[in-house]
Each structure stands twice: as structure tokens, then as C-alpha cells.
């Protein structure tokens, strides 16, 4: 596989900047494509456009793709395997873009044989902010991901350290999910769609049994 050093030697010395008018909240992830043997990437493209180009043999699964949150250029066949996994978690209306960011952050720290069971995404915390929190449940941990001005803060709590979990219906189809750590510190995450709060609570009870 070609690595990033080879791209740099070919003239691709940095990752692409997506167009300023690209609305990632509305359009989803912006993908850039680098054909094998090329020195300049194309894009940004939507996931649907990439699938269409694949079907029309305009690009190959062996070509490379990059999008915000990815640490390096990766073959399309690898990345879209990841996206198939991400799509598994959007049944309860999760923001696909934020869900994808949470999936990638947590995937980097999973232990051997650890699997992601569910990801919940907080609604926007305020009109003037895009910052959100996510709760990720695996078979070994409850992860709490907080978006910062730069990057993310990720807390991992083993199920043994979780004393209890609660859910609260805040009305208007949103609620609060909370968990108590070592009987000392309670974390409350409001503004999560109620369907996701219920699923978090159900799964957390199963993990604690």
C-alpha cells in the first residue's frame, strides 16, 4: 500500500481543504478522492456521489479517500467498510456526521474483543454552538465523548466502575442520561433524543447485570 510519504514525494504534501461553502451539517461528510498514480485529489464528494462513481467504474475501491477525522489516506474499500458499521447505529435518528466522529475516536482505543454496541448523540447544546456530547456503550466500557474547541475529550469507564445509570424525560422528545461513577461523581448529559436515552438506559442495565 502506498503511504503518506509516497504521496508527499508525488506532490501531495498536505490534506485537501474542502470548499468553504460545503455545509457538512447538512450534506454529511465531505470526501476527497485520490486516484492511484495521481498527484491531485478530487472532491469534495458526498457518499452517494462516490457510490455512483464506483458503480460507473470512474473510480476503484483501491483508490484512496480522505475526510475530516481520518488520520491518513485510506483505500476506499477499507473506509466504506467502516461506514457500513456506522450506518448500523443511526436507527434512532443520530446525526450521522457526529456519530461518525464518535465512532472513529472510540475505535482508536478499543481493547481486544471489545465491540461498540450503541452510540447516542446529544442534540446541539445551544443555538450558537456546534459542540455536542456522545455516549458510547461497548461490552466493556461506557465512553463519554465531549467535543472541545479543538479536538475531543474522551472518558472511558469500565462497567465495574459504574454504580448506576438513570434516564429522565425532559419533554419535547429529549431527555437526560446520567451515570454515577464509583458512587462519587454523577455525570448528566441532557438534550439527547428520548429514543436514544431509552436505549442507553436499557443497554447500561444489561451491562451492569
3-state secondary structure of 129: strand
Residue 5's pLDDT band, with cuts at 50, 70 and 90, is very low
Residue 141 has pLDDT above 90, yes or no: yes
Average pLDDT value for the chain: 81
SS3 state at 118: strand
Whether pLDDT at 174 is above 50: yes
Q: Candidates 3.30.70.640, 3.30.420.40, 3.30.1490.40, 3.40.50.150; correct CATH number of 4-87?
A: 3.30.1490.40
- Please list the residue range(s) of the chain that carry CATH number 2.30.29.30: 96-208
CA angle 127-130-133, nearest 5°? Answer: 115
Region of poorest pLDDT, from 20-34, 98-112, 128-142: 20-34
Residue 55, number of CB atoms within 10 A of its CB: 9
Average pLDDT over residues 149-177: 93
In the chain, which segments carry CATH 3.30.1490.40?
Answer: 4-87
132 touches 122 (CB < 8 A): yes
Burial of 175 per CB tally in 10 Å (0-12, 13-18, 19+):
buried
Listed as own residue / partner, the contacts of 72-81 with beta carbons closer than 8 Å and 24 or more positions apart are: 72/3, 72/4, 73/4, 73/7, 73/34, 75/1, 76/33, 76/50
pLDDT band at 51 (very low <50, low <70, confident <90, very high): confident
Tens of pLDDT, residues 78-99: 776 666 666 677 678 888 778 8
For 96-208, CATH number out of 2.30.29.30, 3.30.2420.10, 3.30.360.10, 2.30.30.60 equals 2.30.29.30
| Residues 6+ away with beta carbon under 8 Å from 200 | 118, 120, 135, 137, 165, 167, 177, 192
142 has a pLDDT exceeding 90: yes
pLDDT classification of 22: cutoffs 50, 70, 90: very low
Confidence (pLDDT) at 33: 92
pTM of the model: 0.63
pLDDT computed for residue 6 by the predictor: 45
How far apart are alpha carbons 106 and 46 in whole angstroms? 24
Query: Does residue 107 carry a pLDDT above 80?
Result: yes
Amino acid at each position: 500500500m502506498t503511504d503518506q510519504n509516497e504521496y508527499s514525494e508525488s506532490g501531495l504534501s498536505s490534506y485537501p481543504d474542502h470548499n468553504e461553502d460545503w455545509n457538512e451539517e447538512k450534506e454529511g461528510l465531505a470526501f476527497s478522492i485520490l486516484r492511484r498514480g495521481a498527484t491531485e485529489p478530487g472532491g469534495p464528494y458526498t457518499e452517494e456521489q462516490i457510490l455512483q462513481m464506483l458503480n460507473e467504474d470512474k473510480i476503484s475501491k483501491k483508490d484512496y479517500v480522505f475526510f475530516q477525522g481520518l488520520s491518513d489516506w485510506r483505500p476506499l474499500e477499507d473506509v466504506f467498510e467502516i461506514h457500513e458499521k456506522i450506518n448500523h447505529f443511526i436507527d434512532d435518528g443520530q446525526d450521522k456526521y457526529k456519530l461518525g466522529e464518535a465512532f472513529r475516536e472510540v475505535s482508536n482505543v478499543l481493547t481486544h474483543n471489545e465491540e461498540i454496541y450503541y452510540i447516542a448523540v446529544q442534540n446541539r447544546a445551544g443555538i450558537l454552538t456546534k459542540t455536542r456530547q456522545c455516549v458510547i456503550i461497548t461490552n466493556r466500557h461506557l465512553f463519554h465523548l465531549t467535543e472541545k474547541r479543538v479536538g475531543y475529550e474522551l472518558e472511558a469507564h469500565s462497567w465495574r466502575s459504574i454504580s448506576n445509570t438513570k434516564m429522565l424525560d425532559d419533554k419535547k422528545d429529549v431527555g437526560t442520561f446520567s451515570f454515577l461513577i464509583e458512587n462519587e461523581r454523577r455525570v448528566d448529559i441532557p438534550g439527547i433524543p428520548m429514543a436514544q436515552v431509552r436505549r442507553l438506559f436499557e443497554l447500561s442495565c444489561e451491562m451492569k447485570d
